[in-house]
C-alpha cells in the first residue's frame, strides 16, 4: 500500500482537519522554524495559533552542543516564545537514556564525554558523573606518558563504563585515544546523534558523526545513537510528556531523520515542510528514505486554518 | 581451486626452493621484523642471508607519519642495516601518485595536508606544493571568522586541488572543516592509508583512518588509499624498482593488507609470518581475507636454508 502524502497548502478545510487530528506537535527546528540565524516569516504566529487551539508544542533537536537552557536562548533571541520544558535535545535524550535505562552502577558508572558543555550540563541534571568533555586537561598534545599510560591503562579512570560522543569543536587525538581505550575495555558506546554534517553560515560543517565514526571504524561497531531517528529518543519523549502517540504529529524537513522518526515511532501523523533539506521530489523518488503523511510548502501555511 | 599454503619452518629443502624462486622480497615491518621497539631475534641474520644470495630487500610500510629518512632511523636504532632507497612508505607512495599520476596543474595544484611532517617531507621531495600539515596556523580553536570564512570560501586557498589525509596526531576541528570545504569544492580525496588503528606500546591507537573516515562520512565517498593493499602503491613500487612481479615475494603478518597486496599485485608469491596480527587459523577460516602461498612461524625460520 502506497500512501499519497496530502498537500495542505492553500486548503483551509484540509488544514483544519489536519490540526484537529492531533493534540501534540513535535517540531524539528533548523529548516522548519529557522535557517541558521534567520527566522522564517510567520513561524511565531503559527505556533501561537496551534497553542491557542490547546495544542502542545515540543521542539526536538539533534543539536548536542547546547543544553536545553542554552537552546532556549536561541528561541528567545529569535523572538519565539518557549519554555525550557518544551525543548528536547539529543544531549538531554542521552542523559535520560544513561540515567533511566542504562542505569550504570558503581564502580563503573562514569561517562567519558567526547563533546561540549551542553552534554555536560544535561548529565549533571541527571546526576550522571563524567570525565573528559570540556576539561582543559584534555585540550593538549599527546605526551610520551600518554602513550604508555593509555596503553597500559594506568591513565584511565577505572570507573568509566560508557563513552558518549557528540559534536566536539575541540576534538583532538588525546580525546580520541582515551575514548578508544575505554571502548576497548568494554565501555558502552553512545552518541547523542551521528549526523555527518550540520548547517551553519549557509554552508555545512563537520557534525557529531565526525566524532563517532573514527571510533566506530576502530571498534567495528556503531554507537547507540540517541538523536532522531533513534527510537530511544522517542521513548524518552513519551516518558517525559506522557503523550498519546496516535494524537501526535512530527513536523520536519528531513526524511531520513524527522519523518522516519515519526513513522518508526508510529505517531498519528508526519508533516514535511519544504524550507530545509528535502523537497517533494525527494519523497516521490523510488528510494525515498521515508514518505510523510502530509506536506506544506512552509510551516506558516498552516495559518490558513479557520479560526 | 583452493591452494594449500606451504609450511616452510623446519624444511631446509623447501626453504631453498622458496628462496630460489624470487629475486626481490618486499617486507612489511611491524609484526614481521619487529613489534613496536622490540626487534625479533634472527631478523638481521635472515636479511643478511637473503642479501648474500643476491636478493633485493624492500621495506613496504603504511606508516605515514615518518618520511623515509625518519623511518630509516628506526632501522638503524634497532641495528638493521638498510638504505633509504630500500624503504617505501605510504607517504612516499602518495607523493609519487600525486606528482606522477594525478599531475595536478596550476592554478589547482596544491595539496591540503591533514597529517604530519613525514607527508610534508615526501611532498617536498616530489616538488608538490601544499598547505595545512604541521603549519601552526592550523593548530588552534575555531574563531567566528573561521565559520564565516570557511563557509563563504574566503579563507580557503583557491589553488588547492587535492586533500591528502594520513595519521595526524594534531587533528582538530579547524583542520577537518578545512578539508571538508576543499572536498565540497571538488578537491581530489586521497589517503596515505586508511588503517583504523596502529600498534604502539603493546596496545592499539587511532590510525590514519581516523582522519579520513569523518570526511568519507561527510562526503559519502571514500578516498583513494595509497597504502597496502592499494595497487596504486604496488604500481609505484614497480615503477621505482623496475622489478619482475613473477620473481617478487611479499612477506607480511596481515592477510587483509600484506598478503592481499601481494596477491592482487599478482606477485610470484606471498609469505605469511605468525609474529604479528594473523595466524594459521585466520587463513584456514572460511572467510579469510586472503590466503598466503607460503608460511613460517617466524621470519628467522628462513635461516635454515642451506648455504
Q: Which residues of B fall within a CB distance of 8 Å from A151?
A: 200-203, 205
Domains of chain A: 6-62+229-304 (3.40.50.1000), 91-225 (3.40.50.1000)
Give yes or no for B13 touching A (CB within 8 A).
no
DSSP letters, A158-189, are TTEEEEEE---TT--HHHHHHHHHHHHTT-EE
Contact between chains at B176 and A210 (C-beta distance less than 8 A): yes
B28 is in an annotated binding site: yes
User: Hey, is the C-beta of B38 within 8 angstroms of any chain A C-beta?
Assistant: no
Q: With an 8 Å Cβ cutoff, are A147 and B205 in contact?
A: yes
Question: What is the tens place of the pLDDT at every residue in B57-102?
Answer: 999 999 887 888 999 999 999 999 999 999 999 999 999 999 988 9
Q: A196: nearest CA in chain B?
A: B218
CA distances to A34, A258, A300 from A253, rounded to whole Å, are 11, 7, 14
As a whole number, the mean pLDDT across chain B is 94
DSSP sequence for B125-157: HTT--EEETT-GGGSS---HHHHHHHHHSTTS-
pLDDT band at B1 (very low <50, low <70, confident <90, very high): very low
Interface check B213 vs A, CB under 8 A: yes
Residue B150 to residue A203, Cβ atoms within 8 A: yes
What confidence score (pLDDT) does residue A199 get? 81
Q: Does residue A306 have a pLDDT over 80?
A: no
Worst-scoring range by mean pLDDT, A61-70, A93-102, B132-141, B294-303?
A61-70
pLDDT digits (tens, 9 = 90+) for A47-87: 999 999 999 999 999 988 788 899 999 999 999 999 999 99
Query: What pLDDT is attached to residue A232?
Result: 87
- A287–B contact, CB cutoff 8 A: no
Q: Does A206 lie at the interface with B, CB-CB under 8 angstroms?
A: yes
Averaged pLDDT for residues A1-5: 70
Is position B195 annotated in a ligand binding site? no
Among residues A101, A95, A97, the alpha carbon closest in space to that of A113 is found at: A95
| Chain A residue at shortest CA distance from B174 | A169
Residue A209's pLDDT is what? 95
Contacts of B90 (CB under 8 A, 6+ apart): B61, B62, B63, B64, B166, B192, B193, B208, B226, B227, B228, B233
Which grid cell is A156? Answer: 584511565
Q: What is the ipTM of this complex?
A: 0.87
Query: Scanning every residue of chain A, which has its alpha carbon at the shortest distance from the alpha carbon of B202?
Result: A151
Q: Do B173 and A173 touch (CB under 8 A)?
A: no
**Whether A217 and B218 lie within 8 Å, measured CB to CB:** no
Q: What is the DSSP-derived secondary structure letter of residue B30? A: B
Distance (Å) of CA B130 to CA B30, B94, B136: 29, 13, 14
Residue A1 has pLDDT above 70, yes or no: no
Cell 579469510, residue located = B288
Cβ within 8 Å of residue A281, ≥6 positions away: none
Q: Which residue has the cell 578508544?
A: A180
Q: From chain A, pick out residues whose CB is under 8 angstroms from the CB of B214.
A: 206, 209-211, 213-214
pLDDT at A240 over 90: no
A168-172, B34-38, B111-115, range with the lowest pLDDT: B34-38
Query: Does residue B239 register a pLDDT over 90?
Result: no
Instruction: Answer for the pair B50, B300: CB distance below 8 angstroms, yes or no.
Output: no
Q: What average pLDDT does range A138-152 have in this prediction?
A: 97
Q: Give yes or no for residue B15 having a pLDDT over 50.
A: yes
pLDDT value of position A2: 55
CA–centroid distance for B217 within its chain? 22
A11 is catalytic: no
C-alpha cell at A181: 581505550
Q: Which three cell numbers stand for residue A15?
A: 488544514
- Cα gap B191→B209, rounded to integer Å: 8
CB contact (8 A) between residue B181 and residue A169: no
Order of strands, sheet of A160-165, starting from the edge strand that comes earlier in the sequence: A130-132, A110-114, A160-165, A188-191, A224-225
What pLDDT score does B37 carry? 83
Distance CA A169, CA A114 (A): 10
The percentage of chain A sitting over the pLDDT mark of 90, rounded to a whole number, equals 86
B37 carries an active-site annotation: no
Per-residue model confidence (pLDDT) at position B307:
60
b/e map of A168-199 (b: 16 or more CB within 10 Å)? bbbbbbbbbbbbbbbbeeebbbbbbbbbbbbb
Q: Which of B11, B30, B195, B244 is catalytic?
A: B30
Over pLDDT 90: what percentage of chain B?
Answer: 86
**Contacts for B215 with CB less than 8 Å, ≥ 6 apart:** B163, B165, B176, B179, B180, B183, B189, B223
Best of A114, A142, A151 to disrupt the B interface (most B CBs within 10 Å) is A151
Q: How many other C-beta atoms can be found within 10 angstroms of the C-beta atom of residue B232? A: 18
Size of the A and B interface in Cβ pairs below 8 Å: 108
Amino acid at each position: 500500500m502506497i500512501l499519497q502524502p496530502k498537500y495542505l497548502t492553500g486548503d483551509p478545510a484540509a488544514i483544519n482537519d489536519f490540526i484537529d487530528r492531533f493534540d501534540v506537535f513535535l517540531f524539528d527546528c533548523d529548516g522548519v522554524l529557522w535557517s541558521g540565524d534567520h527566522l522564517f516569516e510567520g513561524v511565531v504566529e503559527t505556533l501561537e495559533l496551534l497553542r491557542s487551539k490547546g495544542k502542545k508544542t515540543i521542539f526536538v533537536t539533534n543539536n548536542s552542543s547546547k543544553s536545553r537552557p542554552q537552546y532556549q536562548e536561541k528561541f528567545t533571541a529569535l523572538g519565539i516564545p518557549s519554555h525550557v520544558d518544551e525543548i528536547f535535545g539529543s544531549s538531554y535524550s542521552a542523559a535520560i537514556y544513561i540515567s533511566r535505562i542504562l542505569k550504570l552502577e558503581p564502580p563503573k558508572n562514569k561517562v567519558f564525554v567526547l563533546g561540549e558543555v551542553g552534554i555536560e550540563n544535561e548529565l549533571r541534571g541527571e546526576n550522571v558523573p563524567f570525565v573528559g568533555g570540556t576539561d582543559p586537561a584534555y585540550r593538549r598534545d599527546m605526551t610520551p606518558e600518554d602513550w604508555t599510560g593509555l596503553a597500559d591503562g594506568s591513565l584511565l579512570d577505572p570507573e568509566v563504563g560508557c563513552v558518549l560522543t557528540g559534536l566536539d569543536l575541540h576534538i583532538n587525538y588525546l580525546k580520541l585515544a582515551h575514548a578508544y581505550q575505554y571502548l576497548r575495555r568494554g565501555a558502552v558506546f553512545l552518541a547523542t546523534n551521528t549526523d555527518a554534517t550540520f548547517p551553519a553560515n549557509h554552508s555545512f560543517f563537520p557534525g557529531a558523526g565526525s566524532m563517532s565514526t573514527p571510533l566506530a571504524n576502530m571498534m567495528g561497531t556503531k554507537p547507540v545513537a540517541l538523536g532522531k531517528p533513534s527510537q530511544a529518543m522517542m521513548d524518552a519523549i513519551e516518558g517525559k510528556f506522557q503523550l498519546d502517540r496516535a494524537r501526535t504529529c512530527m513536523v520536519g524537513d528531513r526524511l531520513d531523520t524527522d519523518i522516519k522518526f515519526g513513522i518508526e515511532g508510529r505517531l498519528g501523523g508526519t508533516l514535511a515542510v519544504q524550507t530545509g533539506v528535502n523537497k517533494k521530489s525527494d519523497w516521490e523518488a523510488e528510494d525515498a528514505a521515508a514518505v510523510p503523511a502530509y506536506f506544506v510548502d512552509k510551516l506558516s501555511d498552516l495559518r490558513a486554518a479557520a479560526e
